[in-house]
Amino acid sequence: MAPKIGEDTKITLDLKTIGTIAVMIATVVGMWYAVQADIQEAKELPKPDVTRTEYDLKDKLIRETIINTQHQVDENGKKLDKIEERLYEISKK
């Protein structure tokens, strides 16, 4: 049966363990405040303006990339069909 933890439970820690725990707590608290400061700074920065021209150029680039990828897939499909035909011819012999 597991020992019960209560008011009479005694825990002994050496000085090295207590120091390690204190350093860990200080590190976590420091990181918390650093993150909060970064969040506050990000809130105060001006919002980036995305112009209509920039949006249109990015949209055009994405669409061209998709179409180009589709053409490459079609070409690869044709090449795969040729390879399958050749393998079939080789296996018949």
Residue 1 confidence class, pLDDT cut points 50, 70, 90:
low
Q: Please give the DSSP secondary-structure letter assigned to residue 40.
A: H
DSSP run (H or E) holding 70: helix 52-92
Could you identify the residue written with the tokens 């820690």? 13
Domain boundaries, the chain: 11-45, 48-93
Write down the pLDDT at residue 46.
Answer: 83
**Residue 6 scores a pLDDT above 90:** no
> What's the pLDDT tens digit per position in 39-85?
999 999 887 777 889 989 999 999 999 999 999 999 999 999 999 99
pTM: 0.43
As given in the structure block, the two tokens for residue 80 are 């795969």
The b/e string for 1-39 (b: 16+ C-beta within 10 A; e otherwise) is: eeeeeeeeeeeeeeeeeeeeeeeeeeeeeeeeeeeeeee
7-28 pLDDT per residue, tens:
888 888 899 999 999 999 999 9
